[in-house]
């Protein structure tokens, strides 16, 4: 199917195949991958502009939430390795049949014995005593436990637990912008699509072809645009691809700028990401920004949770393996 795609020329396809083969040779073997950008790597592999713009960029910028000239090559190669090379099933996508909120809903957790969720209870401070965490304070209430897993975004950690002495120098965020458009009539029958050579990267048909969600990852350049400018940009680009959108009336629009969507997967970050264990025996870290082995993604966050849970189980003298390593 790759050889048949019309948006790439023969030269582009050959170049991409050569570079994908190089991923197989270099991923996990070449030391500099965490110190160079993905764009530098692609230029080294002499990728034509169209191959970069229409293959590497759409695949990698969405997966890693960073531009090619800022993303560490390591993460880009990892995506290609896992998606195309590591196993014959790597291309398969699992699509949940229900929203995540339902899949992990609070009531389901509460059916498990000895699990209690306290929602909307932000922790203000972790209290340390005698070289260990002794409690967390939330809205004046104190709660104590044997172990504390801090799974907050990295920028929150210093305020909650300065005792950990974490240094986030050099860490940056990478934004994601979502634009929801509601038209007065269906403008597409496609469930979703990637727009090539445009600012919009993806659109998703949220309901009956009338409610369209547009997504732009690594959307740093859009942060200064006004809401109305973003809506016009999305409308204009959609209209180029969807003829029905030209005459349809826009009934409503909603813009969500997630300025701190993920940490920025810059060169050098892999070495900075901390492991689950901290200098305190009963305090563990989790989150997509910790050393999960994955770029900043939901899967990375899940993996970090497994690693933190393994560390707790081991500290209790009952080691368990939850983490499934990537295919070798």
Ligand X SMILES: Cc1cc2nc3c(=O)[nH]c(=O)nc-3n(C[C@H](O)[C@H](O)[C@H](O)COP(=O)(O)OP(=O)(O)OC[C@H]3O[C@@H](n4cnc5c(N)ncnc54)[C@H](O)[C@@H]3O)c2cc1C
What residues line the site for ligand X (CB under 6 A)?
122-123, 151-153, 156, 160, 176, 178, 258, 261-262, 287-288, 296-299, 301
> Measured from the CB of residue 244, what is the shortest distance to ligand X in angstroms?
26
> Measured from the CB of residue 273, what is the shortest distance to ligand X in angstroms?
12
* Residue with Cβ nearer ligand X (37 or 297): 297
* Residue with Cβ nearer ligand X (46 or 192): 192
What's the token pair of residue 12?
A: 């582009």
- What is the three-state SS of 217-234? ECCHHHCCCCHHHHHHHH
> Measured from the CB of residue 258, what is the shortest distance to ligand X in angstroms?
4
* Dihedral (CA of 294, 300, 302, 304) sign: positive
DSSP for 24-92 reads HHHTTT-GGGGTSBHHHHHHHTT--HHHIIIIIHHHHHHHHTS-TTTSBHHHHHHHHIIIIIS-TTTT-
CA 243 to CA 172: how far, in whole Å? 39
Cα 272 to chain centroid, rounded: 18
* Residue with Cβ nearer ligand X (23 or 285): 285
> Measured from the CB of residue 128, what is the shortest distance to ligand X in angstroms?
16
In eight-state DSSP terms, residue 249 is: P
* Residue with Cβ nearer ligand X (244 or 282): 282
> Measured from the CB of residue 243, what is the shortest distance to ligand X in angstroms?
28
* Residue with Cβ nearer ligand X (182 or 202): 202
CA 59 to CA 79: how far, in whole Å? 9
* Residue with Cβ nearer ligand X (51 or 81): 81
What's the token pair of residue 171?
A: 């860490």
* Residue with Cβ nearer ligand X (260 or 321): 260
The three-point CA angle 47-48-53 to 5° equals 95
- Count CA within 13 A, CB hemisphere, residue 116: 5
> Measured from the CB of residue 289, what is the shortest distance to ligand X in angstroms?
7
> Measured from the CB of residue 75, what is the shortest distance to ligand X in angstroms?
13
CA 308 to CA 284: how far, in whole Å? 6
CA 125 to CA 153: how far, in whole Å? 15
Nearest alpha-carbon partner for 78 in 322, 295, 312, 264: 295
> Measured from the CB of residue 144, what is the shortest distance to ligand X in angstroms?
16
* Residue with Cβ nearer ligand X (50 or 173): 173
């Amino acid at each position: 199917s790759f050889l048949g795609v019309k948006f790439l020329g023969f030269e582009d396809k050959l170049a991409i195949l050569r570079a994908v083969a190089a991923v197989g040779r270099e991923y996990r073997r070449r030391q500099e991958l965490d110190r160079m950008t993905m764009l530098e790597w692609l230029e080294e592999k002499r990728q034509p502009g169209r191959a970069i713009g229409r293959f590497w960029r759409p695949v990698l910028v969405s997966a890693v939430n960073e531009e090619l000239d800022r993303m560490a090559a390591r993460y880009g190669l990892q995506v290609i390795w896992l998606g195309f090379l590591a196993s014959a099933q790597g291309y398969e996508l699992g699509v949940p049949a229900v929203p995540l909120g339902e899949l992990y809903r609070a009531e389901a957790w509460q059916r498990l014995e000895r699990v209690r969720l306290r929602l909307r209870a932000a922790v203000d401070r972790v209290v340390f005593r005698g070289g260990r965490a002794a409690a967390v304070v939330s809205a004046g209430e104190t709660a104590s436990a044997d172990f504390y897993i801090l799974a907050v975004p990295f920028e929150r950690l210093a305020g909650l637990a300065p005792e950990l002495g974490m240094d986030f120098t050099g860490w940056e965020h990478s934004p994601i912008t979502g634009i929801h458009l509601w038209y007065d009539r269906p403008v597409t029958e496609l469930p979703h699509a990637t727009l090539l050579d445009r600012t919009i990267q993806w659109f998703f048909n949220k309901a009956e072809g009338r409610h369209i969600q547009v997504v732009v990852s690594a959307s740093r350049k859009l942060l200064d645009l006004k809401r109305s400018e973003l809506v016009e940009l999305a409308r204009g680009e959609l209209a180029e691809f969807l003829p029905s959108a030209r005459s349809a009336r826009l009934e409503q629009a909603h813009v969500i700028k997630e300025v701190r969507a993920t940490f920025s997967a810059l060169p050098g970050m892999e070495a900075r990401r901390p492991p689950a264990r901290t200098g305190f025996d009963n305090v563990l870290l989790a989150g997509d920004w910790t050393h999960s082995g994955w770029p900043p993604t939901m899967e990375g966050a899940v993996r970090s949770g497994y690693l933190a849970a393994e560390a707790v189980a081991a500290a209790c003298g009952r080691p368990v393996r939850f983490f499934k390593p990537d295919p070798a």
